[in-house]
């Protein structure tokens, strides 16, 4: 900073300090939002008479040129200019002299960087919402493609109850909807303008913070200038939202990795999303899914990184906050490609229906349906649970299924059983018996599919 601002200092900055303190190597990606913020600020300065309309136009025109040069890769970045804000302002001053020196009137780099980060985060939220909706639509489309397919539902990785494949896909639609809602809620706190709070105490100049907020699309103006310069709550909240998205992606990836194994054999992945082995010619490895699962670590790591950065800071700006961008950028850079790849992989995978159907009756998926049949006959739940448990043990000893037992043996276990018990035995019957709201049975799933078609139609 000594070289850039100079007036207070008598020595040039040590070059090692320049290297240590620079952030241009990673914050240059903020150039577009920095220019947007500066143009809004210049427009406001002209409206309150702190610069002329001609100066505003000159500033905005050259800011446009600088942005075009950066986008085209024709702009020179220098370590001694430290960050993206100084690069743009220095370039502006080089081009238009004292008029460029007026741009920073009524603001500090403290509120400037916060404005940039909020604009960048808001744009990222909007982009992620679009990507998440694409993933939801891909799962929803599978509901029609896999209509009628029954899968074993698992708890503890043990077969539990039969559900429609569409019920599985809708579970992910629900998860990613919560992610979208969290991002939307986070966006409300992001969308509060810090611009004009200056360093920490505001300014004596007659600026119009409401005007810059409107120009930049902010819904409100931050009310406490001291809070503005230290506030990174919105970033902590944002990276937490990203971490949950990545966890949901990882859950999906882990499940499909298991389903892709020979042991499960439920799923065939498109060749375009698998890789071979350097030594074993038969291999088809789910590397893309494994990397999605693995990159969760990068995203979730940003949460403790940012919290640890913030926890020891006193009020107002401290240079530690330069480090806030690293975790946010890393999390975004890890997550976005996962979301971009997911829809095509979801659409291209194929359930191995014959393999699934061949083993669907394994694991007594109809046991709970039989217990609930007994409950409907007036048997206390715990008694019904014990009765079916004994029948399952009996079947395991004989190497048969519940549906294989003759009515007489079923009635020996419970005299209330009638011939209509056949309506709940077997995986397909047990699935059809499911009827509660949100269940994995046909009526509930069909209703939810229709609901989601409507909800995602305009997403």
Number of folded domains in the chain? 2
Give yes or no: residues 244 and 341 share one domain.
Answer: yes
Residue pair 371/384 in contact (Cβ under 8 Å)? The answer is yes
Quote the CA–CA distance of 130 and 125 in Å, as a whole number: 9
Catalytic residue among 25, 61, 184, 277: 277
Give the tokens for residue 336. 């976005």
Residue pair 44/53 in contact (Cβ under 8 Å)? The answer is no
Place of tokens 């029948």: 391
Q: What are phi and psi of 393, to 5 degrees?
A: -60, -40
Q: What are phi and psi of 222, to 5 degrees?
A: -60, 130
Q: Which of 247, 117, 97 is nearest to 182 (CA)?
A: 247
Give yes or no: residues 90 and 127 share one domain.
Answer: no
Evaluate whether residue 194 is within a structural domain. Answer: yes
Give yes or no: residues 87 and 141 share one domain.
Answer: no
**Model-level pTM greater than 0.85?**
yes
Give yes or no: residues 194 and 317 share one domain.
Answer: yes
Place of tokens 């896909």: 169
Give yes or no: residues 78 and 129 share one domain.
Answer: no
Residue pair 94/62 in contact (Cβ under 8 Å)? The answer is no
CATH number at residue 185: 1.20.200.10
Q: Which tens digits make up the pLDDT trace of 103-134?
A: 999 999 999 999 999 999 999 999 999 999 99
Evaluate whether residue 81 is within a structural domain. Answer: yes
Evaluate whether residue 55 is within a structural domain. Answer: yes
pLDDT at 17 over 90: no
Quote the CA–CA distance of 367 and 402 in Å, as a whole number: 8
> Residue 6: its pLDDT value, please?
55
Give yes or no: residues 204 and 58 share one domain.
Answer: no
User: Of 301, 334, 357, which residue sits at a domain end?
Assistant: 357
Catalytic residue among 156, 204, 278, 408: 156
372-377 long-range Cβ contacts below 8 angstroms, 24+ apart: 372/424, 372/433, 373/417, 373/421, 373/424, 373/433, 374/414, 374/416, 374/417, 377/414, 377/416, 377/417
pLDDT at 361 over 60: yes
Q: What are phi and psi of 76, to 5 degrees?
A: -95, 125
Residue pair 92/66 in contact (Cβ under 8 Å)? The answer is yes
Respond yes or no: is residue 193 known to be catalytic: no
Give yes or no: residues 171 and 97 share one domain.
Answer: no
Give the tokens for residue 165. 């494949």
CATH number at residue 99: 1.10.275.10
Give yes or no: residues 124 and 92 share one domain.
Answer: no
Quote the CA–CA distance of 30 and 34 in Å, as a whole number: 6
> Residue 283: its pLDDT value, please?
86
Report the relative pairing of strands 192-193 and 158-164 from DSSP bridges. Answer: unpaired
> Residue 459: its pLDDT value, please?
73
Evaluate whether residue 401 is within a structural domain. Answer: no
Evaluate whether residue 424 is within a structural domain. Answer: no
Give yes or no: residues 96 and 6 share one domain.
Answer: yes
Evaluate whether residue 437 is within a structural domain. Answer: no
Give yes or no: residues 76 and 135 share one domain.
Answer: no
Respond yes or no: is residue 277 known to be catalytic: yes
Its domain, for residue 348, covers 117-150+165-210+224-357
- For residue 387, the tally of other CB atoms under 10 A from its CB is 19
What percent of the chain clears pLDDT 70, i.e. is strictly above it?
A: 98
């Amino acid at each position: 900073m000594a070289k850039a601002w100079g007036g207070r200092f008598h020595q040039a900055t040590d070059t090692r300090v320049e290297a240590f303190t620079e952030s241009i190597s990673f914050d240059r990606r903020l150039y577009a939002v920095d220019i947007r913020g500066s143009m809004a600020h210049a427009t406001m300065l002209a409206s309150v008479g702190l610069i002329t309309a001609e100066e505003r136009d000159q500033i905005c025109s050259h800011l446009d040129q600088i942005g075009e040069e950066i986008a085209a890769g024709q702009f020179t970045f220098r370590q001694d200019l430290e960050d993206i804000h100084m690069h743009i302002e220095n370039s502006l001053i080089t081009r238009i002299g004292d008029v460029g020196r007026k741009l920073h009137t009524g603001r500090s780099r403290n509120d400037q960087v916060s404005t940039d980060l909020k604009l960048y985060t808001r744009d990222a939220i909007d982009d992620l919402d679009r990507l998440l909706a694409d993933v939801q639509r891909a799962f929803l489309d599978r509901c029609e493609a896999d209509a009628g397919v029954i899968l074993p539902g698992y708890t503890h990785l043990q077969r539990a109850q039969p559900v429609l494949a569409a019920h599985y896909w809708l579970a992910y639609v629900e998860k990613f909807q919560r992610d979208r809602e969290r991002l939307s809620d986070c966006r409300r706190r992001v969308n509060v303008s810090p611009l004009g709070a200056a360093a920490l105490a505001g300014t004596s100049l007659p600026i119009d913070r409401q005007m810059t907020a409107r120009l930049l699309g902010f819904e409100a103006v931050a009310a406490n200038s001291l809070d503005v310069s230290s506030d990174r709550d919105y970033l902590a909240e944002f990276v937490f939202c990203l971490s949950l998205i990545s966890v949901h992606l990882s859950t999906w990836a882990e499940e499909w990795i298991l389903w892709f194994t020979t042991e499960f054999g439920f799923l065939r992945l498109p060749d375009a999303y698998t890789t071979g082995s350097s030594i074993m010619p038969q291999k088809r490895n789910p590397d893309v899914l494994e990397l999605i699962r693995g990159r969760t670590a990068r995203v979730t790591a940003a949460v403790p990184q940012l919290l640890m950065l913030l926890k020891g800071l006193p009020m107002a700006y401290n240079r530690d906050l330069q480090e806030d961008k690293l975790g946010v950028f890393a999390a975004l850079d890890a997550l976005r490609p996962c979301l971009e790849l997911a829809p095509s992989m979801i659409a291209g995978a194929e359930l191995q229906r014959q393999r699934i159907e061949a083993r669907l009756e394994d694991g007594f998926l109809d046991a709970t349906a039989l217990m609930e049949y007994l409950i409907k006959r007036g048997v206390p739940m715990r008694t019904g649970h014990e009765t079916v448990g004994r029948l399952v043990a009996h079947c395991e000893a004989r190497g048969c299924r519940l549906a294989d037992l003759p009515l007489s043996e079923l009635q020996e276990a419970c005299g209330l059983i009638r011939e209509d018990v056949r309506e709940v035995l077997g995986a397909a019957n047990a699935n059809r018996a499911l009827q509660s709201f949100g269940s994995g049975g046909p009526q509930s799933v069909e209703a939810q599919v229709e609901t989601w078609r409507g909800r995602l139609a305009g997403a």
